[in-house]
Amino acid sequence: DRQKSFILYSSTNFPLPQGVRLSYGTAGFRADASILQSTVFRVGILAALRSLKTQSVIGLMITASHNKVSDNGVKVADPSGGMLIQDWEPFADAIANAATPINLVQLIDEFVKKENILFDGARSAEVLLGRDTRPSGLFLIEAAKQGVNSIVGALALDMGILTTPQLHWMVRARNKGMKATEDDYYEQLSSSFRCLTDLIPNGHKINEVDDRLVVDGANGVGAEKIQVLMKKLNGLLIEVRNTGKGGVLNEGVGADFVQKEKFYPQEFGPEDVGIRCASLDGDADRLVYFSVPSSDSSTIDLVDGDKILSLFAVFIKEQLAVLNTEGEEKISDDYQARVGVIQTAYANGASTYYLKQLGLEVVFTPTGVKYLHEKAAQYDIGIYFEANGHGTILFSESFLSWLEERCNELSSKNKDSEQHKAALRLLAVSRLINQAVGDALSGLLLVEAILRHMGWSIHKWAELYQDLPSRQIKVRVVDRTAVVTTNAETVVVKPLGIQDAINAQVAKYSHGRCFIRPSGTEDFIRVYAEASTQEEADSLAGSVTKLVD
Ligand code: 16G
Ligand code: ZN
C-alpha cells in the first residue's frame, strides 16, 4: 500500500554502506559519521513508529558524546524522557542492518503487525530532533527528518543544537503537558537553583577564593549552553574554557578525558592550583569536578561521579532527617521515603563503603544508564551515578505529591520552620535535577548549591572519603561476546574457570577487587582493579589482563 511504497521510495536515497554492521549498543548506534546516514534515516522511522505506538512525543538525538569529533551516533528518547525501551532494541538492530529497501520494508511490516501499530491517518506522530555540535550532525539530522517523514502522519521537529539531556528533558516535559522549550528548561533550572541558594543557612558562605568556578566545556555544546544558563543566574559566576573556538571536541578535554586520564584538560594547568574546576563531556550528560593540588604536580585531584553521588546523598539524607524531626505536634502522617543509591561495579569501593556507613541502601546494576535509571525509578528517591559522571536523582510521583502537601501544611503552620525549609529544598532539588537523564548542567547547579549550603570547599568535599587506587586496562580481543558476566558484571560465568583465576589473583592483595566485562561500545574487554596502593592496583590489573589476553 501507500505507506510501504513511501518507505521503499525514500529509503533508496539511504543505501546501507557495504560491510557495515551496527548494533544499538549501550547508548544507541555509534560509528564513524561517514557511514551513519542510512542508520539515522532508519532510526527516524523507528522513532516515528514509537511515537505512533505510544501516542506520545519521542526524541531522537544525534551525538557521539565523548567520542572523537569524526564519530557520530543516534539514540532515541522514550516518552518518559528516558532511554528507548529495551524491547525495541532488537528491532533497531534489525532495521539498521537490513541489506535492501525491500528487506527494510518487510521488517517494518512484520514489526508493525506484531506491535499492533495503526496507521489510520487519524493518529499522528511527533519526533523532536536534536544534535550536538559535530559538523556531521547537519547532514545526519536531514537523514533523520526524512526517516520520520517517510511515515505517514509523522512530524519531525528540529530543535537544533542541544545537549543530550536538554532533548530528553523536552520530550519528558512535552509528554507531561508542561512548558517544554529550551527557555523553559533554563527557567526551571535557574528558578530552582535560586530557591536552593535563598535557603542557605546563615553564615554558610564560601569565601572569595573558593567561589571561583572554572568549567571545561569539552569544546562542545555544553560550553555554549552553560553560558546561556549563567546569564539567568545572577550571582553565580562561571568561567568557561574550551568553548570550541580553537580547540577540537573532546580532544584532550572533557569529562571522559579527565576521569580516565586523571590529568587536567587543555587550557588548565598549574596556574589553577586550588580552584574549583568542572568538566563536561561532549554532549553535556556527564560531569566531573577536579582541582589542581599544587603547582608542581602533574596530576589532579579528581572528584568523580561517585563523589558527586555522595554529596547529593549526604544532602538529601540531611534534609529528610530535618523533615522527619517532629515538632510539638504531629502534622501529617509519617511517610518514610525509601531512598536508594545505585552504582555500578566501577564505583570506587571507598564510595560504596562510605554510603553504606551513612546507612543508605546501595544496589548495583550493570554499566549503562538504562540499567541504573530503571533501578533508581523503583525508589521514592533514587540516586544513581556512574563513576564517569553520568547520573541524576529520581523522585517518585507519590513521594512528590506527599511532599507538596506536607510543604503546604508546614507553610501554613510556620513558614520559617526548619521542616518547612527542608521540604522546600527537596522540592527544589526535584525540579533542578533532570528527571529524564543525567545532565551536567543541572548536576553542576546542584553541586554548587549544596557546596554553598554546607559551606564546603572542593577540598572539604573531596575529603568525604579517600578513593582506593584503581587501574583500568582495555584488552583487544577477537570476540568480546565470549565473555559473559553476571551479578552486575562482577562475576564472569563464561569462559569457564576465568572467575576462579581472577579470585586467586584478588586474594593476594589487601582491599583487592577486580572484574572484567565486555565493553558495550567498543571491541574490548575491560579490566578494572582496585587495591590499597597504586602499585598493587596496577599489578592486579596486569595479572588479570594476562588471563584474558
Ligand atoms: C555509554 C553509556 C555509559 C557507560 C558507557 C560504558 C549511556 C547513555 N552511556 O557511554 O553509561 O558508562 O557506555 O562504555 O548509557 P563501555 O561499555 O564501553 O565500557
Ligand atoms: Zn555524553
Ligand 1 centroid to residue 256 C-alpha, Å: 11
To the query of whether residue 80 is one of the catalytic residues in this protein, the response is: no
Grid coordinates representing 471 are 587501574
Question: What pLDDT sits at residue 527?
Answer: 97
Pocket test for ligand 1, best of 287, 344, 521, 522 (most atoms within 8 A of CB): 521
pLDDT score, position 25: 79
Cβ of 76 less than 6 Å from ligand 1: no
Please indicate if the annotation marks 517 as binding a ligand.
Answer: yes
Residue 331 has pLDDT above 90, yes or no: no
pLDDT of residue 209: 43
Per-chain mean pLDDT for the chain? 93
Instruction: Give alpha helix (H) positions in 150-254.
Output: 164-175, 182-198, 221-231
Atom 12 (ligand 1) nearest CA = 368
The letter for the amino acid at 522 is E
Three cell numbers written together for 164: 543530550
pLDDT category of residue 27 using cuts at 50, 70 and 90: confident
Reduced to 3 states (helix: H, G, I; strand: E, B; else coil), residue 500 is helix
Averaged pLDDT for residues 300-309: 97
Share of the chain above pLDDT 70, in %: 97
Q: Is 520 in the pocket of ligand 1 (CB under 6 A)?
A: yes
Give the residue whose CA is nearest to atom 16 of ligand 1: 519
Which grid cell sits at 54?
A: 505510544
Does 80 score more than 90 pLDDT?
A: yes
Q: Which residue has its alpha carbon closest to ligand 1 atom 4? A: 368
C-alpha cell recorded at residue 12: 533508496
Strands (E) located in 103-183: 125-131, 154-161
CA of 124 to the centre of ligand 1 (A): 33
Instruction: Please give the helix or strand (H or E) that residue 257 lies within, else none.
Output: helix 255-261
- Of 65, 192, 291, 310, the active-site residue reads 65
Buried b vs exposed e over 293-303: b needs ≥16 C-beta within 10 Å? eeeeeeebbbb
In angstroms, rounded to a whole number, what is the distance separating the alpha carbons of residues 548 and 543? Answer: 9
Q: Is 386 annotated as a binding residue?
A: yes
With cut-offs at 50, 70 and 90, classify the pLDDT of residue 357: very high
pLDDT tens-digit map of 137-169: 999 999 999 999 999 999 999 999 999 999 999
Confidence of residue 332 (pLDDT cuts 50, 70, 90): low
Closest CA to 145 of 131, 158, 160, 134: 158
Closest ligand to residue 520's CA: 1
Q: What is the DSSP string of 34-92?
A: GG-HHHHHHHHHHHHHHHHHHTSEEEEEE--TTS-TTEEEEEEE-TTSSBPPGGGHHHH
Residue 498 burial (C-beta neighbours within 10 Å; 0-12, 13-18, 19+): middle
For 458, residues 6+ apart whose C-beta sits below 8 A from its C-beta are 210, 276, 289, 291, 303, 451
Residue 248 banded pLDDT, cuts 50, 70, 90: very high
Cβ–Cβ under 8 Å, residues 293 and 263: no
> pTM (2 decimals)?
0.95
Quick one: average pLDDT of 55-76? 97
Q: Is 367 in the pocket of ligand 1 (CB under 6 A)?
A: yes
Is 310 annotated in a binding site? The answer is: no
Task: Give the burial class of 162: count Cβ atoms within 10 A of its Cβ; 0-12 exposed, 13-18 middle, 19 or more buried.
Answer: buried
Q: How confident is the model at residue 135 (pLDDT cuts 50, 70, 90)?
A: very high
In this structure, what are the phi and psi dihedrals at residue 110, rounded to the nearest 5 degrees? -60, -45
**Cell numbers 528558578 correspond to what residue?**
191
| pLDDT attached to residue 206 | 47
Q: Is the CB of 526 under 6 A from ligand 1?
A: yes
Which of 65, 343, 390 has most ligand 1 atoms within 8 Å of CB, for mutation? 390
Residues whose CB is under 5 A from ligand 2 (ion)?
A: 65, 281, 283, 285
Per the annotation, does 334 bind a ligand? no
Ligand 1 contact, 129 CB (< 6 A): no
Higher pLDDT, 324 or 88: 88
* CB 368 near ligand 1, within 6 Å: yes
Cα(284) to centroid of ligand 2, in Å?
6
Say if residue 371's pLDDT is above 80. yes
Q: Binding site annotation covers 219? A: no
